[in-house]
Structure 1
Amino acid sequence: MSDDAADGQQQEAGLTTGEVARRLGVAPTTVRSWDRRYGLGPAGRVGGRHRRWTPLDVALLERMCALTATGVPPAEAARLAQDPSRPAPPPRPAPGGTPADRPAAAARAHAGMRLGDARQECRGLARAALRLDAVALDELLNTAVETYGLVTAWHEILMPTLQAVGRKWESSGERYVEVEHFLSWHVACALRRAAPPVADGLDSGKVLLACVPGENHTLPLEALSAALAQRRIAVRMFGAALPVEALVEAVRRTGPAVVGLWAQSRTTASQPLAQHVADMRWGVRGSRRQAAVMTLGPGWAGKPVGGTLRPPGLAEAVDAVEARVRG
């Protein structure tokens, strides 16, 4: 059966509450609560017991989400969602906002995010982030990682959603900063929850990850650290903007097999620094060792560094580290 045929059958049969929740970016308990409190439940059930949500049912909940995202109280939002002919109240202005700001704020709130062909889960995450719904966001993030695996979830769900939120912020006059910070923190927590503890062993401490000086984008390194932990490879993580002297000293003290240097921007990617780390040697004469340096992130594009590795994505980076550590 083709994917289109399967999707058509699913639409005809209706969606489960969990599937609806993922699409909307809310917790399943929220969907059930709206049904119980405000009568926003599905029109039909399978076998008289199991809820199945039709496209019309989902459209009603989407109106509910859009209204609550602009600050309308849930009870009032439910009444408006069930009677679209009633005018919606003006959205609450941001702190310090003026009445003149309100129409533009409302338009931005309903404009959505440019997610392109990203998975439907991205839209659910984006909606949960816009509402600052911590419970729903954690549930959606955990489900994405458990369902698709950490690497696939990062490439196809988490990263596209983070990028969409970033574009939303940039295109709205630096509004939604709180949404970007909120989503980033919860993504970081989800990545750490997905990383099992790695016991000390032969591979312990052989990988050092850090952002170059001036670079504060740590989430890609968090994803790499978590993916390596799932392969039982321990990491020493130094996080954002590690000063040059501290990076050199950390490499000298730990003698790692691999050093990963993340640069999001071309202005922070330093070829001399990467080359210096790649050229470092330690150990007794006759058996001196050096680290394999990986230049990670878009900042290194067009900035080749001799003798370093340049994996194009998370999956390739994980494989390159494992080959070096256990090869």
Structure 2
Amino acid sequence: MTADRNDEDGRGGGGLTTGEVARRLGVAPTTVRTWDRRYGLGPDAHTGGTHRRWTPADVARLERMCALTATGVPPAEAARMVKSPGPPAPDGPAPVAPPVAAPPAASRRSRAHAGLRLGDARQECKGIARAALRLDAAALEDLLATAIEAHGLITAWTEVLMPTLQAVGRKWENSGERYVEVEHFLSWHVSGALRRCAPPVAADRPGATTMLACVPGENHTLPLEVLAAALAERQLPVRMFGAALPVDSLVAAVRRTGPAVVGLWAQSRTTASRPLAEHVAAMEWGVRGARRKAVVLTLGPGWAGHAVPGLARPRGLAEAVAAVESLVPG
């Protein structure tokens, strides 16, 4: 047990710890240890005789293992392929991790999009994407919680979670809907991670509640879930109504809630409705002589082509949080 603790907290010397390797690959640390114990894919050397440290060559083998298992190759067969020596290079010995032999043309076509195109996104994106592709729930939940804890809600969403979700969406669009299950799987786990990390909703204060809803026809709720969690962190009362709230229900909720702020999310220009935003902004409630209105924030990329005069359109979730903090009495 002592060796494992030292392995995870990074006191073992040069190279990567098992925990660091697991996060990079998007697998659970237990998976890395199982591949080591069962298939002999552990590090080539130990530091100080006890601590397990992984070199770039060690990690390269595991990356090939991940790539093969993600395409459906059984783990035992994938390990055999990773460990089998390739033909020697023209000017030197065989590399430590030789490339996998090219599959038949039909197989190449079916695996053409096996990896997500994440460009220069954070390393966490790649790990989360790999875990989502493998439908590895335990690893995915661990990676999501680690990203949120390390970066905070807004930064984790903007720089890690959203780019990964966008990459999964592109993969789905470009591969004949073969990866719909991956998108649903990742979205569900992101939503769960956001709810687990958010503190309890603050108690309502008269005239201080923020109401969040997607406009009718809009089902992209995750950005609003991030915003709701960020407001809860700041002890600001928030009521979340989620996806595609019908117009009549939206109006009724505004009247019953009496919010200080109403955030209307539109992901697409086809769902953003300028008349709806203007109608909500014009609504009044309260006793005669003390009538009140909510400040309406038009949130999301869908409003880019539907700017509503007189209504704020924060450019991102951090700006939206700042706007609410400036509008809601402390």
The verdict on a shared fold, with TM-score over 0.5 as the criterion, is yes
Decide whether aligned partners of structure 1 residues 131 and 90 sit closer, same or farther in structure 2, where only a CA change above 3 A counts: farther
- Mapped contact 1:207–1:258 kept (Cα < 8 A): yes
Q: Which residue of 2 aligns with 1:104?
A: 109
Q: How far apart are 1:151 and its partner, in Å?
A: 1.2
Q: Which residue of 2 aligns with 1:40?
A: 41
Q: Is 1:19 matched up with 2:26?
A: no
Give the partner amino acid of 2:240: M
How many residues align? The count is: 307
Spell out, residue by residue over 1:151-195, the C-alpha distance to the aligned partner (whole angstroms, 9 max, x if none).
111111000100111111111122100000000000000000111
- Structure 2 unaligned spans of 5+: 1-12, 88-98
Q: Which residue of 2 aligns with 1:9?
A: none
Decide whether aligned partners of structure 1 residues 89 and 131 sit closer, same or farther in structure 2, where only a CA change above 3 A counts: farther
Q: 2:273 aligns with which of 248, 270, 274?
A: 270
In the alignment, the residues of structure 1 paired with residue 264 and residue 18 of structure 2 have an alpha-carbon distance, to the nearest angstrom, of 43
- Mapped contact 1:125–1:161 kept (Cα < 8 A): yes
In the alignment, the residues of structure 1 paired with residue 204 and residue 257 of structure 2 have an alpha-carbon distance, to the nearest angstrom, of 15
Q: How far apart are 1:199 and its partner, in Å?
A: 4.2
Residues 38-187 of structure 1: matches in 2 within 5 Å? Answer: 38-83=39-84, 85=86, 102-109=107-114, 112-187=115-190
Identity across matched positions, percent: 74
Q: How far apart are 1:204 and its partner, in Å?
A: 9.0
- Mapped contact 1:25–1:128 kept (Cα < 8 A): yes
Spell out, residue by residue over 1:14-48, the C-alpha distance to the aligned partner (whole angstroms, 9 max, x if none).
11111111111101111111111111111122222
Q: Which residue of 2 aligns with 1:196?
A: 199
Give the partner amino acid of 1:14: G
In the alignment, the residues of structure 2 paired with residue 53 and residue 203 of structure 1 have an alpha-carbon distance, to the nearest angstrom, of 56
- Mapped contact 1:203–1:233 kept (Cα < 8 A): no
Give the partner amino acid of 2:164: T
- Mapped contact 1:162–1:184 kept (Cα < 8 A): yes
- Mapped contact 1:205–1:254 kept (Cα < 8 A): no
Q: How far apart are 1:284 and its partner, in Å?
A: 1.3
- Structure 1 unaligned spans of 5+: 1-11, 92-98
Q: Secondary structure at the match of 2:236?
A: coil
Q: How far apart are 1:321 and its partner, in Å?
A: 1.0
Report the RMSD for the aligned CA atoms in angstroms: 2.1
Q: Which residue of 2 aligns with 1:94?
A: none
Decide whether aligned partners of structure 1 residues 84 and 281 sit closer, same or farther in structure 2, where only a CA change above 3 A counts: farther
In the alignment, the residues of structure 1 paired with residue 207 and residue 292 of structure 2 have an alpha-carbon distance, to the nearest angstrom, of 17
Q: How far apart are 1:89 and its partner, in Å?
A: 10
In the alignment, the residues of structure 2 paired with residue 203 and residue 143 of structure 1 have an alpha-carbon distance, to the nearest angstrom, of 36
Decide whether aligned partners of structure 1 residues 234 and 90 sit closer, same or farther in structure 2, where only a CA change above 3 A counts: farther
Q: Secondary structure at the match of 2:22?
A: helix
Taking structure 1 as the reference length, the TM-score comes to 0.89
- Mapped contact 1:72–1:89 kept (Cα < 8 A): no
- Mapped contact 1:293–1:309 kept (Cα < 8 A): yes
Q: How far apart are 1:80 and its partner, in Å?
A: 1.1
Taking structure 2 as the reference length, the TM-score comes to 0.88
153-162 or 317-326, which moves further after superposition?
Answer: 317-326
